[in-house]
Amino acid sequence: HQPIRRADYLPPDFGIDRVELEFDLEPARTLVRARLAIRRIGASDAALVLDGEDMELLGLALDGNALAADRYRLEPTRLTIPGVPDAFELVIDGAIAPAANTALEGLYISSSVFCTQCEPEGFRRITWFLDRPDVLSVFRTTIRAERARFPILLSNGNLAAARDLGDGRHEAVWDDPFPKPSYLFALVAGDLAVVEDRFTTRSGRDVALKILVEHGKEGRAGYAMDSLKRSMRWDEETYGLEYDLDVFHIVAVSDFNMGAMENKSLNVFNDRFILADPATATDLDYANVEGVVAHEYFHNWTGNRITCRDWFQLSLKEGLTVYRDQEFTADERSRAVKRIQDVRVLRARQFPEDGGPLAHPIRPDSYLEINNFYTATVYEKGAEVIRMLEALLDRDGFRRGMDLYVARHDGEAATCDQFVAAMADANGRDLSHFLRWYGQAGTPRLTLEQSHDAATGTYALTVSQRTPPTPGQPDKLPLHLPVHMGLIGRDGAEIPLRLEGENAPQGTSRVLELTEASQTWRFVGVEAPPVLSINRGFAAPVVVESSESEDDLALRMRADADPFSRWEAAQSFATRLLLAGIAAAAEGRPPPPTDAFVAALAAAFDAVEGDPAFAAELLALPGELYLAEQVAVIDVEAIHAARKALRAAVAQGLVDRLRHVRTGPPRPFAPDAASAGHRALANMALGYLSTIDGPAAAMAQYRAADNMTDRFSALAILSELDVPERTAALADFHDRHAGDALVLNKWLGLQAGSSLPDTLATVRALLDHPAFSYGNPNKIYALVGGFAGNALRFHAADGSGYAFMVDQILRLDPQNPQVASRLLKAFGRWRRFDADRQALMRDAMERIAATPGLSPDCREIVGLSLA
């Protein structure tokens, strides 16, 4: 494995116009015939070099003539055929072993169902091919298999033919009329239940919608189906984008490395993002099902109809599609709450990545293993970059840009530059400066200077930006970003915003454009020093370094017109107290006084009556991962202790309000956002009150709950308490849901994430529990990944957590390198800890680095982390 560099991109020497695949499916040994119509588009002397891995070559024929062994060269990762004509047909016969495929890339078996995962480079494990996204081909797929075991045979596109083969086997032929890259190929064969519905597109196309799940789980596919129909409607209404085939399949499988996959007309999903019913799914699960179904559906245009030229452009489809699914959820649910939740995730996952050894731009410059770049940066920061374009061009301008992008590039493999060019051209704007976001890593930091001149009623705001160095990028340039701001009077009223030189105020909230290292704006007609509300709606993915007074924070917490900023003010106030508390805990001093914060929180809480989902967000204190990013040296015990202390103080201060939240008649369960909001607030209150009252109320709710959200929230509270009820509830939960893998994953994850001291011993014991298996990524992420995310116990001072993770990673790497390298990222922030932990973490990674036969996936992560 050599590094692949973006600068080295060359167009392919050959195109493959048409692909005919024939599969004879058997778990142990599947035969694959590929008939490829190949055409030279590059140099006349170029040899044909096809990608291929882990397959057995049975025969090769060029234009009907078998190729002797001296006419080609077969290597572990490629097949080279020199001296080919300018246009020819190549037939490749190969054999693969799906049952032995534990990496879950290519064709594999999940619970007796054949399925595929080809993004990014899995197709080369099915047949030899130009396995790169800029080679677009029309596919016809013939599948033959035993009818009894595999009654359902699916591939992309429309069913062209089906017949019985007489010998207990049957055959199906699928035609996909849309040229597509090989990573969007899919095949599914097995015995599955089908849930059906229909959708009529805006222009009258009648589309059959089919969701395939394990038998017996049909009743858990309804919310996914509803989400799919709403997604289809939304994309028509919001972007004028319609579905383009007569059938849309979603197949849920239990063994899947990622969340889901947007294969043309045959999405394959990790079943945790399809299956949901009140007894087994939390409100978060419902929201995730909705979001992921929408995300994969939206890829049909942003990803499939317009795909990526090369994998460095991954954010072209992922950042854009994440932005689209975020907007869908914002429209379907609460915009403010969605924004808050997305920013929480960005700060907990992407900011640490951007500030550590794995930092990379949303369009990376090089990689060893592209699987390592399905990151929070490419996805979530990529979505923030799209969102900034929307802020800079406004909604209509953004839509014009999308329309032009689709008109120009439909049917093509495009680049990020082309996307931004469409945005610029549709709006007559020069966005060349904005393009720096695609190449520059790191989270910009904004600093502010404000002054007010009472004599002239002028308020001046200076915003400066600076992006800290990241690996390989010591010097950063200023970025083009929206500064979405407003000014608030001491009375809490928004001040009309009139810049010097303007004839009249233009609203009370505006987007200023920062392009320089430092810029100043002067507002006139501002009689008294205002309170600044900046980065409203989190318009730019930056850190604002602000020394706002506690009074100003309290004012904004209750009066800022932007709900996101009200939440943000509460987070800032809490963070400030927590940082003081962390310093105090580390030095054995008492925690700082919390009265002012608690009073402000109470006032802010009272001001949002009627929006329980938002109120729940307001009450949620900053998380441990976020706090860890804010301190010079991470002290996990001090962070945990400080947060616990502030939680107790908030509970005491808001006790009457919290008890009031818990009163009122029980509501019948419904999965909609408003009902979920009530549950979120009630469970938030339950958690706080348990710090005063102990486990009784949580135990009572655990027993009485008629839905998974309430039951699991109670269990999560109990799992943080060292009480007998904890053991009883965990045992009961297990027995209640024995045999339901998805629910037991929650049970594994809760125990792995517990802050109680014996957590590592519990996790070790659970490795042998029947609910756990090394073959299933969801289980690994729940138990082993859950422990890696347990800041307190993973970072135990004696290094036991690190040693455990090394053992797990080394065990997993030979069988599933993608999963192993994801777990390995837990060591990435090692330099942020004290000297003893740094040494332990470095030793742990060196143990991994020294392991013979380590996958390129892990080698790349460990190499970058130690560099």
Binding residues for ligand DPP (CB under 6 A): 119, 258, 260-262, 295-296, 299, 318
Q: How far is the CB of 267 from ligand DPP (least distance, A)?
A: 9
- Looking at the Cβ atoms of 270 and 776, the one nearer to ligand DPP is 270
- Looking at the Cβ atoms of 308 and 423, the one nearer to ligand DPP is 308
Q: Do the beta carbons of residue 235 and residue 229 sit within 8 Å? A: no
Q: How far is the CB of 296 from Zn ion (least distance, A)?
A: 7
- Looking at the Cβ atoms of 295 and 793, the one nearer to ligand DPP is 295
Which residues have CB under 8 Å from 153's CB, separation 6+?
143, 145, 162, 170, 171, 172, 188, 189
Q: How far is the CB of 321 from ligand DPP (least distance, A)?
A: 7
Q: How far is the CB of 127 from Zn ion (least distance, A)?
A: 25
Helices 595-607, 563-587: axis angle to 10 degrees equals 160
Q: How far is the CB of 264 from ligand DPP (least distance, A)?
A: 12
Q: Do the beta carbons of residue 245 and residue 157 sit within 8 Å? A: yes
Q: How far is the CB of 828 from Zn ion (least distance, A)?
A: 23
Q: How far is the CB of 292 from ligand DPP (least distance, A)?
A: 8
Amino acid at site 295:
H
Q: How far is CA 855 from CA 103, 184, 372, 817, in A?
A: 11, 25, 12, 6
* CA angle at 637 for the pair 636 and 641, rounded to the nearest 5°: 120
171 binds, among Zn ion, ligand DPP, none (CB under 5 to 8 A by kind): none
**What are the beta bridge partners of residue 4?**
367
Structure tokens at 211: 């969701």
Q: How far is the CB of 332 from Zn ion (least distance, A)?
A: 19
327 binds, among Zn ion, ligand DPP, none (CB under 5 to 8 A by kind): none
Q: By C-alpha distance, which of 156, 319, 325, 185 is closest to 244?
A: 156
Cis peptide before 120 (omega within 30 of 0): yes
Longest dimension (CA), the chain: 95
Q: How far is the CB of 232 from Zn ion (least distance, A)?
A: 17
Structure tokens at 62: 């060029």
Could you tell me whether strands 445-453 and 543-545 are parallel, antiparallel, or unpaired per DSSP bridges? parallel
- Looking at the Cβ atoms of 291 and 486, the one nearer to Zn ion is 291
- Looking at the Cβ atoms of 268 and 569, the one nearer to ligand DPP is 268
119 binds, among ligand DPP, Zn ion, none (CB under 5 to 8 A by kind): ligand DPP
258 binds, among ligand DPP, Zn ion, none (CB under 5 to 8 A by kind): ligand DPP
Structure tokens at 435: 């393009």
**CA gyration radius for the chain?**
28
651-654 long-range contacts, Cβ below 8 Å, gap at least 24? 651/688, 651/689, 651/691, 651/692, 652/598, 652/692, 653/594, 653/595, 653/598, 653/599, 653/601, 653/602, 654/598, 654/601, 654/602, 654/605, 654/619, 654/688
Residues, the chain, total?
A: 867
The stretch near Zn ion (CB under 5 A) out of 320-328, 355-363, 654-662, 745-753 is 320-328
261 binds, among ligand DPP, Zn ion, none (CB under 5 to 8 A by kind): ligand DPP
> DSSP secondary structure string, 471-529?
TTB-S-----EEEEEEEE-TTSPBPP--BTT-SS---S-EEEEE-SSEEEEEEES--SP
Q: Do the beta carbons of residue 338 and residue 329 sit within 8 Å? A: yes
- Residue 296 annotated as catalytic: yes
Q: How far is the CB of 76 from ligand DPP (least distance, A)?
A: 25
The stretch near Zn ion (CB under 5 A) out of 139-147, 229-237, 314-322, 707-715 is 314-322
DSSP letter, residue 537: G
**What are the beta bridge partners of residue 23?**
32, 143
Q: How far is CA 53 from CA 123, 710, 852, in A?
A: 9, 48, 20
Structure tokens at 421: 């060019």
- Looking at the Cβ atoms of 142 and 375, the one nearer to ligand DPP is 375
Q: How far is the CB of 289 from ligand DPP (least distance, A)?
A: 14
What is the C-alpha separation between 730 and 724, in angstroms, rounded?
10
Residue of this chain nearest to ligand DPP (CB atom): 258
- Looking at the Cβ atoms of 379 and 688, the one nearer to ligand DPP is 379
Q: Do the beta carbons of residue 47 and residue 84 sit within 8 Å? A: yes
862 binds, among Zn ion, ligand DPP, none (CB under 5 to 8 A by kind): none
849 binds, among ligand DPP, Zn ion, none (CB under 5 to 8 A by kind): none
- Looking at the Cβ atoms of 253 and 540, the one nearer to ligand DPP is 253
- Looking at the Cβ atoms of 220 and 299, the one nearer to ligand DPP is 299
72-77 long-range contacts, Cβ below 8 Å, gap at least 24? 77/51, 77/52, 77/53, 77/124
- Looking at the Cβ atoms of 14 and 405, the one nearer to Zn ion is 405
Burial class from Cβ neighbours inside 10 Å (0-12, 13-18, 19+) for residue 683 reads buried
Q: How far is the CB of 117 from ligand DPP (least distance, A)?
A: 7
Which residues have CB under 8 Å from 137's CB, separation 6+?
15, 16, 17, 18, 19, 36, 179, 180, 181, 182
Which one of the listed residues 296, 332, 390, 624 is annotated catalytic?
A: 296
- Looking at the Cβ atoms of 119 and 390, the one nearer to ligand DPP is 119
- Looking at the Cβ atoms of 299 and 360, the one nearer to Zn ion is 299
Structure tokens at 196: 């059906």
Q: Do the beta carbons of residue 112 and residue 105 sit within 8 Å? A: no
Enumerate the active-site residues: 296
For binding to Zn ion (CB under 5 A), which residues are involved? 318, 321
